[in-house]
Structure 1
Amino acid sequence: MTAYAIAVLGTTPGAPHPDVLTYIERVQSTFTPYGGRFLVHGTKGEWLEGEPLGGIVMIEFPDLEAAHAWYASPAYQQILPLRTDHLPGSLVLLEGVPESYDAARTAAAMRAAG
């Protein structure tokens, strides 16, 4: 089932640190071998509720195993400090839902459970 890596990255005053730019230049080559592709990159978004959290990055993977393999890969681990040392943020890996997913059925099951 399709999986996603979603990052919310803070901002820093002024121009990005050169290491962050190097990270951006190199990151795509780390997830392409795992079937990853950008869906969103650095978009601040149009926040309709809550406070703006930062820039959004969303990468799609064929499945959660591929997403985990990418994150643990030597290529990604090598460049990760280029971002984390200079740019605050959070990253989550999560599995998507099947095309047949129906939120009303989920609610019904939750009601029945109690």
Structure 2
Amino acid sequence: MPAYAVAHLHDVDVNAGIVEYLKRIDATFTEFGGRFIVHGGEQRAVEGPADSYVVVVEFPDYQAAQAWYDSPAYQAIVALRTENSVGVAVIADGCGADHVATDILGPAAG
């Protein structure tokens, strides 16, 4: 099942560090089967900081997403992002097509 690396970034300083990060990040996905699902394009903050951006990268599974984040190639550039933006980054397992919101409550919720 696919997994996702999701970043919610704001106060992004588009400077030489961010430009370098953007030039190098695509190559870090190759070994782990990652690809951008959401990156750039039109976004509108409906809650929270108005200057925020969401980025979503899909991986074949949770282990691949975690391995990508921990990889030497990504770790070599992650500071270029974290030193030039504020945000949260999460690796999350996907859910199946038949998932409904109450599934997270477990069987006891009935």
Pairwise TM-score range, normalised by the shorter structure? 0.7 to 0.9
> Is this contact kept in 1: 2:33–2:60, CA < 8 A?
yes
Structure-2 separation of matches of 1:52 and 1:17: 20
Structure-2 separation of matches of 1:46 and 1:37: 22
Q: Name the TM-score, length of structure 1 as normaliser.
A: 0.82
Superposition deviation, residue 111 in structure 1: 2.7
Q: Which runs of 4+ in 1 moved over 3 A?
A: 102-110
| Paired position in structure 2 for 1:2 | 2
| Paired position in structure 2 for 1:82 | 80
Unaligned stretches of 5+ in structure 2? none
Structure-1 separation of matches of 2:42 and 2:90: 17
Superposition deviation, residue 86 in structure 1: 1.4
Listed one character per residue, the Cα deviations across residues 17-75 of structure 1 (whole Å, up to 9, x for unaligned) are 10111001111110122000000113562334x22461110000000000000000000
Structure-2 separation of matches of 1:106 and 1:73: 30
2:60 matched to 1:62?
yes
Amino acid at match of 1:38: F
Structure number with larger C-alpha Rg: 1
Task: Label 1:89 to 1:105 Cα distance change in 2 as closer, same or farther (>3 A).
Answer: closer
| Paired position in structure 1 for 2:48 | 51
Structure-2 separation of matches of 1:105 and 1:91: 24
| Paired position in structure 1 for 2:32 | 34
Give 3-state SS (helix, strand or coil) of 1:69's partner. Answer: helix
Q: Name the TM-score, length of structure 2 as normaliser.
A: 0.84
Amino acid at match of 1:6: V
Give 3-state SS (helix, strand or coil) of 2:11's partner. Answer: coil
Task: Label 1:74 to 1:47 Cα distance change in 2 as closer, same or farther (>3 A).
Answer: same
Unaligned stretches of 5+ in structure 1? none
Tell me which of 15, 23, 34 is aligned to 2:21. 23
Number of residue equivalences: 109
Identity of aligned residues (%): 39
Structure-2 separation of matches of 1:29 and 1:61: 14
